[in-house]
Amino acid sequence: MNVLIIGSGGREHAFAWKLAQSKQLQNLYIAPGNAGTAQCGANVNIAVTDFEAIKNLVWEKDINLVLVGPEDPLVLGIHDFFLQDDVLKDIPVIGPKRDGAQLEGSKDFSKQFMLKHGIPTAKYKSFTKDNISQASDFIDSLEAPYVLKADGLAAGKGVLILEDKEEAKHELNNMILNAKFGNAGNTVVIEEFLKGIELSVFVLTDGKSYKILPAAKDYKRIGVGDKGLNTGGMGAVSPVPFADDAFIKKVEEKIVIPTINGLVKDGIDYRGFIFIGLMNCNGEPFVIEYNCRMGDPETEVVIPRIESDLLDLLEGVSTQTLHQKQFSVTSDIATTVVLVSGGYPEEYQKHKVISGIENNTTSHVFHSGTTIINNDVVTNGGRVFAITSFGKTIEEAIDKSMKSAEMVTYEGKYYRSDIGKDLMNWK
Ligand code: AMP
Ligand code: GLY
């Protein structure tokens, strides 16, 4: 099979690395890819939302399956674009159509979906300029802190958690009336704050059956102790010690099955990954959010733990034979540590020459923001690498990732030294 992966991050490198191990793979293309994916297949310099250029590539290279990494092309309807095109309509796309991608593309849609299908989530109400006058009463009915979410995609920045009631009311006005997050904030979801510990569960579905992939915990903030600005993710651990088999069973019964059945009932033919952001509140799972794709850097710990052939699983998604596919996961622990460019998540410099990534036999060095200029591998983004290692314990895996992280050099390198530490003595 000839496969095209859309995207350029660590997630896409992990996909490319795994697919390259499949006996069923002939040629692998990644658009646009990075310096790491170039070692697994051929990069093609096309933007992830340039559907016409993607169409030409699929045609030219005789692609048999397209795996979409990031949310933007999904929310913009890349899958619908394929289905509506005479040349592309029979080429399977892994990732939902625009209707299913609304689970991530609209917080209001996803909350309504959960309410309708009895899926546990925080109590909420949605506001627009038409009913903004009622927002104050709703905020008054909640206890601090107050959670405000811009409805649309806002590059991971659209959620505000505020201690002060007046500030919450002020920010709501800013979002709806002053377009603080552009059109994404025309509708704002206000919801109850959930106290607990967060984790993510990933599901692969063909629209009928599903496989629950390994769970992971990510580390969202830039600073040690989970302090400072929010990032795309600074590290991840899988499995998660506070998500034992009994908890995952609850997630399956209360969340995964109602989600898959709800999609069917609502006439949404969903083929792809569902990323379920969860809060474990005293042993009970509540959905914080859905994403219509895999997480980054969670993919860099989840995918390496899957022993089965990923291409075989994806083929099962496209032909709705996922239930027949063999699926196994190693019990070994995987951790990843993300190396970023100095300054990230604010301003940072690019094109710093990287060394020390060759011949690493301890860890998998997944590239995120890298490219090749004049035969040098150079930095090309805020998150530069995700360094994944295995161990029988979190300590063992993290120790390897940290040693590998030290071996990589480029100007401005930064990483969190405390990834996984909170989980090491979990009881
Ligand atoms: P989201 O963009 O929906 O992932 O939200 C960003 C982060 O805000 C989440 O990862 C949580 O840490 C936090 N968060 C969102 N909603 C809630 C909630 N209802 N209660 C507590 N924390 C929340
Ligand atoms: N690491 C969180 C995400 O991919 O959205």
- For CA atoms 218, 222, 227, 232, give the dihedral sign: negative
Q: Provide the pLDDT for residue 178.
A: 82
Q: pLDDT tens for residues 354-396? A: 999 988 999 999 999 999 999 999 999 999 999 999 999 999 9
Atom 4 in ligand 1: residue holding the nearest Cα:
289
* Whether the CB of 277 sits within 6 Å of ligand 1: yes
Ligand nearest to the CA of 292: 2
The ligand 1 atom nearest the CA atom of 149 = 3
Q: Is 350 helix (H, G, I), strand (E, B) or coil?
A: coil
312-357 confidence digits (pLDDT tens): 999 999 999 999 999 999 999 999 999 999 999 999 999 999 999 9
Candidate CATH numbers 3.50.50.60, 3.40.50.20, 3.20.20.70, 2.40.160.10; the one for domain 2-98: 3.40.50.20
Residue 427 binned pLDDT confidence (cut-offs 50, 70, 90): low
Looking at residue 280, its amino acid is: N
Gap from CA of 149 to ligand 1 centroid (Å): 9
DSSP 254: I
Side chain identity at 125, as an amino acid letter? Answer: K
For residue 158, give the ligand 1 atom closest to its CA.
Answer: 2
Which of the listed residues 153, 237, 275, 293 should we mutate to test ligand 2's pocket, taking the one with most ligand atoms within 8 A of CB?
A: 275
Structure token digits, residue 344: 């990230």
Whether residue 426 has pLDDT greater than 80: no
Q: List where CATH 3.40.50.20 sits in the chain.
A: 2-98
The answer to whether residue 253 scores a pLDDT higher than 70 is yes
* Cβ of residue 276 lying under 6 Å from some atom of ligand 1: no
Q: Are 122 and 286 in contact (CB under 8 A)?
A: yes
Nearest-atom number in ligand 2 for the CA of 296 is 4
How does pLDDT run across 80-89, given as a tens digit for each residue?
Answer: 999 999 999 9
pLDDT digits (tens, 9 = 90+) for 184-211: 878 888 999 999 999 999 999 999 999 9
Across the range 89-96, mean pLDDT stands at 98
pLDDT at 184: 81
Ligand 2: residue whose CA is nearest its atom 3: 295
Determine how β-strand 146-150 pairs with β-strand 159-162: antiparallel
Torsion angle of C-alpha atoms 248, 155, 31, 233, degrees rounded to 10: -50
Question: Could you identify the atom of ligand 1 that is nearest to the CA of residue 156?
Answer: 2
Share of the chain above pLDDT 90, in %: 85
Predicted pLDDT at 369: 97
151 lines ligand 1 (CB under 6 A): no
DSSP state, residue 37: G
Task: Please report the atom of ligand 2 found closest to the CA of residue 11.
Answer: 4
C-alpha 211/C-alpha 143 separation (Å) is: 37
d(CA 152, CA 138): 21
Instruction: Report the separation in Å between the CA atom of 276 and the middle of ligand 2, taken as the mean of its atom positions.
Output: 10
Decide: 122 and 193 in contact? Cβ < 8 Å.
yes
Verify whether ligand 1 is closer than 6 Å to residue 193 (CB atom).
yes
Centroid of ligand 1 to alpha carbon of 230 (angstroms): 11
Burial class (CB in 10 A: 0-12, 13-18, 19+), 272: buried
pTM score: 0.95
404-420 b/e with 16+ CB inside 10 Å = b? bbebbebeebbbbeebb
Report the separation in Å between the CA atom of 11 and the middle of ligand 2, taken as the mean of its atom positions. Answer: 10
- pLDDT tens per residue, range 11-30: 999 999 999 999 999 999 99
Residues 273-306: pLDDT tens digits? 999 999 999 999 999 999 999 999 999 999 999 9
Answer whether residue 61 shows pLDDT above 70.
yes
Q: Which ligand is nearest to the CA of 149?
A: 1
**Ligand closest in space to the Cα of 277:** 1
- pLDDT score for 182: 78
- Whether 422 is in the pocket of ligand 1, judged by its Cβ within 6 Å, is no
Residue 172 has pLDDT above 90, yes or no: no
DSSP 179-210: -TTGGGGSSEEEEPPPPSEEEEEEEEE-SS-E
Distance 136 CA to ligand 2 centre (A): 31
For 56-100, the DSSP string reads: HHHHHTT--EEEE-SHHHHHTTHHHHHHT-TTTTTS-EES--HHH
**Which residues line the pocket of ligand 2, CB cutoff 6 A?**
218, 232-233, 291, 295-296, 298
Atom 6 of ligand 1, residue of closest alpha carbon? 159
Fold of 123-191: Dna Ligase; domain 1 (3.30.1490)
Q: Where are the alpha helices (DSSP H) in 241-370?
A: 245-251, 257-265, 299-305, 310-318
Ligand 2, atom 5, residue with closest C-alpha: 295
Q: What is residue 185's predicted lDDT score, i.e. its pLDDT?
A: 77
Instruction: Name the closest ligand to CA 202.
Output: 2
Handedness of CA 309, 312, 316, 317 (dihedral sign): positive
> How many A from CA of 323 to the centre of ligand 1?
32
Ligand 1 center–CA 33 separation, angstroms = 29
- Looking at the chain, which residues constitute the CATH 3.30.1490.20 domain(s)? 123-191
Q: Probe ligand 1: pick from 121, 161, 188, 291, max atoms within 8 Å of CB?
A: 161
Average per-residue pLDDT for the chain: 95
Q: Is the CB of 303 under 6 A from ligand 1?
A: no
Length of the chain measured in residues: 427
Only one residue has tokens 């990843």, namely: 336
At 177, the pLDDT band (50, 70, 90 cuts) reads confident
